[in-house]
Amino acid sequence: MKNLLGSSVKDLENVALDYGQDAFRGRQIYNWIYNYRNKKKNIDQIEVLPLDFRKKLKDDGFKLSELSIQERNLANDGTLKLLLSTDDNESIECVGIPTEKRLTACLSSQVGCPMDCKFCATGKEGLKRSLKASEILDQILFIENEMNRKVTNIVFMGMGEPLLNIDDLLLSIRSINNDFRISQRKITVSTVAVPKMICKLSAKSFQILGNCQFTLAISLHASNQKIRESIIPSAKNYEIKNIIEDCKKFVRDTGRRVSFEYLMLKGINDKLEHANELSNLMKGFQCHVNLIQYNQIDEVEFKRTSLNNLELFQSRLIKNGIAVSSRKSRGLDKNAACGQLRQNAKNK
Please give, one letter per residue, the 3-state secondary structure of 244-312: HHHHHHHHHHHCCCEEEEEEEECCCCCCHHHHHHHHHHHCCCCEEEEEEECCCCCCCCCCECCHHHHHH
β-strand pairing of 103-106 with 110-112: unpaired
Between vectors from CA 220 to CA 315 and to CA 228, what angle results, nearest 5°? 105
Cα 166 to Cα 134: distance, rounded to the nearest angstrom: 14
- The CA distance from 108 to 118, in Å, is 18
Give the Cβ contact number of residue 175 at 10 Å: 21
CA atoms within 13 A on the CB side of 228: 24
Catalytic residue positions? 93, 338
Using an 8 Å Cβ cutoff, are 165 and 130 in contact?
yes
Give the separation between CA 100 and CA 149, rounded to whole angstroms: 11
Q: CA torsion 264→269→274→279, rounded to 10°?
A: -40
